[in-house]
Amino acid sequence: MAGNKAVAYIAPGKVEIQTIDYPKLELQDGPGVNPVNVGRKCPHGVILKVVSTNICGSDQHMVRGRTTAPPNLVLGHEITGEVVEAGPDVEFIKVGDLVSVPFNIACGRCRNCKERKTGICENVNPDRPGSAYGYVDMGGWVGGQAEYVMVPYADFNLLRFPDKAQAMEKILDLTMLSDIFPTGYHGAVQAGVGTGSVVYIAGAGPVGLASAHASQLLGAAVVIVGDMNPDRLAQARSFGCETVDLRNDVPLSDMIAELVGEPEVDAAVDCVGFEAKGHGAGAGEAPATVLNDIMTVARAGASLGIPGLYVTGDPGGIDEEAKIGSLKVRLGLGWAKSHSFTTGQCPVMSYNRELMMAILHDKCQIAKAVNATVLPLDKAPEGYSDFDKGVAKKFVLDPHGLLRS
């Protein structure tokens, strides 16, 4: 049987390459696996040879020690792969298919899945609705930063690319379908972005850049991206965004007014989450900053998209309230302005097929927007280190040497 190299979280600031068991169509015991899930049979699953798997900012939260992730948890929820084995209950996905894996694990059978709320499937995580590969408190499904991975409920979950050769030509774009492109798009859609919109995107990391590019795809007239990292702001400008440097002590509304003539926007998206910092040079962590920012600059009646991650357990929180996800949000301001809020995991299957078609027919260039950069799997620790330093890159891991950078 083939070996299986994988990227595992060890301790804050440390990941390593381990050799783990080749996957089975059954959930095995291991780090982070809920005891209720141990031994769970998956005849509806497939084994994938991983073609590409990406490092995500959500992974970085764990690697920084900002969650309760256990040591030796195999990471990775952004997965594209080739089917090498299919379970006896798999009817429509075939060996040899090249597929995108939504990061949400969904059964396709529960009430939420039937309502396309696949980010909060009721049957795959005994702790709470919603699950993902290689993520803390998500049921213990083994991550895909590996050579091989098991995917349950394959007929429901997997998006098959119609032409393998065509897909491999665009694989650096298509690998973004597992998470950040749908997530960024979801944030923009839920914020009401449309033709002629003026949009503020908080955060120029990969999800923020994906949301900015998604806003352009949706017809926004002006996309403004805010961050404190000059390299990431330069990346946003590289594909036509306006930017604001939040190291400045100038109020955000004033910087927006300088760009568009008024201190407010039609739509706002939080792509930062709970590790947000305050504004100004040397500002420290202030986890509610972005939530309060987007309420401040969004016009009355606007919608706010919040794909940025917020957690219920943060050992590194700045105070006891932050450690349980209780933040000082100006809800009164949002109420007074009649704002609506959308939070939670992106339901990837609501968007991934349409975004696949946009990629295959050259309507968007998401890999260029996020500066996709290929690394061999063995270089994942260096990728995590560089990402933590704020490089303006989206790292795509290549476990089998199949990608072209």
Q: Where in the chain is the domain with CATH 3.90.180.10?
A: 5-179+347-398
Q: Name the burial class of residue 305, with classes exposed (0-12), middle (13-18) and buried (19+) by CB atoms within 10 angstroms of its CB.
A: buried
Per-residue pLDDT of 152-194, as tens digits, reads 999 999 999 999 999 999 999 999 999 999 999 999 999 999 9
Per-residue pLDDT of 79-120, as tens digits, reads 999 999 999 999 999 999 999 999 999 999 999 999 999 999
Largest CA distance in the chain: 64
Contacting residues for 146 by C-beta, under 8 A, at least 6 apart: 4, 5, 6, 7, 20, 50, 53, 74, 76, 377, 399
Q: What is the pLDDT of residue 221?
A: 98
Q: What is the pLDDT of residue 313?
A: 87
Per-residue pLDDT of 206-220, as tens digits, reads 999 999 999 999 999
Q: Where in the chain is the domain with CATH 3.40.50.720?
A: 183-342
Residue 2 has pLDDT above 80, yes or no: no
Task: Report the C-alpha gap between 124 and 36 in whole angstroms.
Answer: 10
Fold of 5-179+347-398: Quinone Oxidoreductase; Chain A, domain 1 (3.90.180)
pTM: 0.96
Per-residue pLDDT of 227-284, as tens digits, reads 999 999 999 999 999 999 999 999 999 999 999 999 999 999 999 999 999 998 888 9
Question: Six-digit token pair at 259?
Answer: 């760009």
Residue 405 has pLDDT above 90, yes or no: no
> What percentage of residues in the chain have a pLDDT greater than 70?
99
**CATH architecture assignment, domain 183-342:** 3-Layer(aba) Sandwich (3.40)
Q: Cα dihedral angle (118, 273, 352, 41), rounded to 10 degrees?
A: -40
Residue 48 has pLDDT above 90, yes or no: yes
Residue 1 has pLDDT above 60, yes or no: no
Overall average pLDDT of the 306-314 stretch: 92
Handedness of CA 362, 156, 271, 194 (dihedral sign): positive
Residue 73: beta bridge partners? 9
Q: What is the pLDDT of residue 346?
A: 96
As a three-state string, the secondary structure of the chain is CCCCEEEEEEECCEEEEEECCCCCCECCCCCCCCHHHCCCECCCCEEEEEEEEECCHHHHHHHCCCCCCCCCEECCCCEEEEEEEECCCCCCCCCCCEEEECCECCCCCCHHHHCCCHHHCCCCCCCCCCCECCCCCCCCCCCCCECEEEECCHHHHCEECCCHHHHHHCHHHHHHHHCHHHHHHHHHHHCCCCCCCEEEEECCCHHHHHHHHHHHHCCCCEEEEEECCHHHHHHHHCCCCEEEECCCCCCHHHHHHHHHCCCCECEEEECCCCCCECCCCCCCECCCHHHHHHHHHECCCCEEECCCCCCCCCCCCCCCCHHHCCCCCCHHHHHHCCCEEECCCCCHHHCHHHHHHHHHCCCCCHHHHHCEEEEEHHHHHHHHHHHHCCCCCEEEEECCCCCCC
Per-residue pLDDT of 349-362, as tens digits, reads 999 999 999 999 99
Higher local confidence (pLDDT), 281 or 384: 384
